[in-house]
Structure 1
Amino acid sequence: MHIESRTFLITGAASGLGAACAERLVEGGGRVVLCDLSDAIDPLAERLGDAAIAVRADITSGEQMQSAVEAAVTHGGEQGLAGVIHCAGVVSVAKLVDRHGQPADLESYARTVQINLVGTFNVMRLAAAAMANNAAGEDGERGVIINTASVAAFDGQVGQCAYSASKAGVVGMSLPAARELSRHGIRVMAIAPGVFETPMMGDIPDDAVSALAQAVPFPKRLGKPLEFARLAEQIIVNPMLNGEVIRLDGGIRMQ
């Protein structure tokens, strides 16, 4: 699939990985629909120019995400919606039993799974339904979906039961979704980033961030959002990338 003149819906687009993807695609001649609940998508859309529009939507809402998908289809004109890069999500940390012997909060666990896993399914199902109506391109391709998992799906740390489970669910959906949507010419991929320089890292103490960076075999630093965007770009243009989860982590294995 070519990026030039194609339209992509990006969730979690206000900052971090999503914003980097939006900038990269526009630089490549693409068009983007920035989807987020943050007001920060407005100045980003203004900076990116006519190629970008901003839409506020909650990824767990069927109605709001349907409106976002319809906006993307309209923004895409005759070619419709070409792809989705789903970056929206939350990080949560809570031990099953805390230092005072109290059990973890069930509502907090459910919220994490609702946003990270159910939200991903919601975006995927609505985008796929829209892309299935596209005219088939080379190899019969009609669209591509790129979800965001995490290395925590494979080697989650203490306190990450909710986060790891939600991201493992994203991993688990990748292959069956790719198999199912193949008849529509839609590819499904997931990226599992390690520790990256995103706003989510802002609440972590500097010494902890430094320790995480040193835990990366090479390069010994946090990942940069642009590096995530470059991989997303490669997934879009390489039709043989399908039904797989790619770790983007510098070789880190969490302890």
Structure 2
Amino acid sequence: MALRRLLRGTVPWEQLEGVAAAVLARYDEPAGRVEFLEADNWLSTPFVVNDRWFVKLITQQNSLVHALLTTGRNLGAFSSGTEGFFEHFGTPYQMAEHELAATRRMRELGVNAPEPVEAFEYEGMGVLVFEYLREFETLDELPAEAAEAHAPTVFDYLHRMHEDGLAHGDFRCENVLVADGTLYFIDATSVREEGIADARAYDVACALGALEPLVGARVAVDAVARYYTTAELLAAEEFLDFVNIRPDHDFDAAAIRGAVEQRAN
């Protein structure tokens, strides 16, 4: 967490106050309460305004970190025998605009995501506003039986995105929220259109890796097999080692391979 905080950087208090005031002014709120969140991410400073709006503030440093992460992930993709498919946007505002558009598209496909409100620029920073989910748990905070019950929905949502030419690109437990029994996807990233097939396989590998410690390899593979063909599962298998070296994934790749190959045979 300390490393993430260091890389995310510290936004001067006067700028944070200015962004909060801008959000209140845009929605005709004369005054408001601001709560800053200790989120486990590298790419924004998150806070909540009036218990109503979830705001992500994206700085130039966040954009630089995103560029470095994108380069590293693309190098990792090469190790799986494919060209890199992650994409970086040049400015904080462009990053905010992309996430806003991706979230809107997900919702159009029937994938639950917090309602996107708008993206705007403030003093060279990108500001992204969503509805605020007041109470939620991340996927890895659920009891095992609840995670198992939600596993098919995870792959249903990914499949809807993939069938429409969209990929998530950063699937991990922290980016899957459950509020009032409903599953939500957040923080979709950008992938290059020419690499969409590999990005889909990578998404499936990430989801299998996220679910395996929670529900076991067999249950995870049974859930993915409802929506993906054997060939697609074998393609995802090629990315398991790449995914497992990420600091936010830790799973038994051999167990997943065994469950995939048992189904394939």
TM-score norm. by structure 1 comes to: 0.29
- TM-score (norm: length of structure 2): 0.28
Whichever structure has more helix as a proportion of its residues is: 2
Larger radius of gyration between Structure 1 and Structure 2: 2
